[in-house]
Amino acid sequence: MNNKELVLKIIELVGGESNIQHATNCMTRLRLKIKDYNKVKMDELKSLDGVMGVVEDETLQIVVGPGKAQKLALILKENVTLTKEMGASEDWESNKQKIKQNQKQSKLKKGLRTIGEIFIPLIPAIIAAGILNGFAGVITNLQSTGSLPANEFWNITRLILSLIGGAFLGYFTIFTGINAAKQFGATEGLGGMVGAMTVMTQIDEISQLLGLFNVDSPLNSTLRAGKGGIIGVIIGVFILAQIEKRVRKVVPDVLDLIVTPVVTLLLVTLLMLFIIMPISGFVSDGLIYVLELLVSSEIPAVSIISGYILSAIFLPMVLLGLHHGLIPIYAVQLETFGGVSLFPVLAMAGAGQVGAAIAIYFKAKRAGNNKLQQIISGALPAGVLGIGEPLIYGVTLPLGKPFITAGLGAGFGGAYVMLSKVLAGAWGPSGLAAIPLMQSGSMLNYILGLLISYIGGFIITYLFIKEQDVVSLR
């Protein structure tokens, strides 16, 4: 079926247009906010052709794959009238269910999810910027070794590629400020201004006048341009939203358009300069210090242990909704080091699932479980390309033990990747699809890490899973 037919079938299986309150998408999932989960035909939805998996969370997340998720979301919005808030006509049972669903989410999970939502819309730009900057770097390296001539064609090509990449990465804080404003309910333009001001040179001049600038070591200044990075931007925009709402309440309507943004920005700027940027800068510096100890350690044993543990526990973190908190760490690494070392390590977790699924396939074949073999055969290609949900929710997690053994196997690949100091120019899909995201000197070691994770996940799962363990999953 084509995309429109798939969307119409999804609408039918989730209880119809009236049961969809809100719709959006991330990189691989169509996310629907459902009014009444009792109307959702979950089994039929999971088995629908074109649906790779379904995750029941605060939103109903339908896994359809990268690229397709956005297309389906656009088609759905064209065919369904959505409302952000539930109307008074809803019955009390729906409201009760909504309250209960919200109660299940801890403040920590909600906070991390909000942070994730700030960066999810930026992922396509992050990927494009990382890949194009990577190509520009390859051209530079080849020119420096004489493998490519430093002629006009290659110089212009390099500059165009770095221009596109820099258009995003050079103004990362602005994009972060705009998206943070969307999430916190502030005016988006003001959020972008908060992000922009953190990297402007006037901050250095203000810092020098106040005696807060360290001329001998500018990076150690109490206040400087870029201090606090995106952590400071997110905190600043959150406070911006609170101040803007309170100012708007007391300002007369006729003056709102003029007074509210001016007063709000003045107050937030003072807070950014004297409180938020210095404090968030201290936090960022501490985070960088920890990352250098664990992720960029010169001690091989530390790299091996930290790489193994991070890869092994990543998917449980995903299940608990804690992985959203890692995105600011990716961004801090990208801003500070010019590359992300944590993402390639965590990408090994999906490769461990692939290895485990292959081992289960052989066990299922011996046990005569044809249905499980079919599920694995259909999900493996997606898993190899970095879309792990079909394998996780269709195979390893329902069986229980393979979900654990897959993580244990993935740890070996993570240890190797960490030890090899693999760096990515961006983050996005994992698996083979992430190879273009790796910096030029890291691609081979990333591929070797994947192979190690495949083998590790396969061996540990094959040793610890018995044929009788796979008989029940039909």
417, 445 in Cβ contact below 8 A? yes
Q: Write out the H or E segment, with its range, that includes residue 30.
A: strand 29-34
Question: With contact defined as beta carbons under 8 Å apart, do 343 and 330 qualify?
Answer: yes
CA-to-CA dists, residue 396 to 53, 167, 311, 356, angstroms? 13, 41, 16, 8
Tokens 């259909």: give the residue.
378
Count Cβ neighbours within 10 Å for each residue of 395-413 and write b for 16 or more, e otherwise: bbbebeebbbbbbbbbbbb
Does residue 26 carry a catalytic annotation? yes
Question: Terminal CA-to-CA distance of the chain, rounded, Å?
Answer: 26
In the block, tokens 């999430």 appear at: 183
Nearest-angstrom CA–CA distance, 270 and 200: 15
CB atoms within 10 A of CB 266: 11
Closest to 377 in 3D by CA, of 362, 367, 398: 362
Distance, in Å, from the CA atom of 365 to the CA atom of 71, rounded to the nearest integer, reads 37
Report helix, strand or coil for 33: strand
Only one residue has tokens 């729906």, namely 94
Sheet holding 53-56: strands in order across?
A: 20-25, 29-34, 60-63, 53-56
Helix ranges (H only) for 60-151 are: 68-79, 92-103, 107-119, 123-144
Q: Name every residue whose Cβ is closer than 8 Å to that of residue 174 and which is 6 or more positions away in sequence.
A: 192, 195, 196
Distance CA 220, CA 158 (A): 33
- Residue pair 376/361 in contact by the 8 Å Cβ criterion: yes
Q: How many angstroms separate the CA atoms of 18 and 125, rounded?
A: 34
Reduce the DSSP state of residue 45 to 3 states and report it: helix
Sequence-separated (6 or more) residues with CB below 8 Å from residue 221: 207, 212, 213, 214, 227
Which of 26, 27, 326, 387 is an active site residue?
26
What distance in Å separates the CA atoms of residue 174 and residue 176, rounded to the nearest whole number?
Answer: 5
Residues belonging to the active site: 26
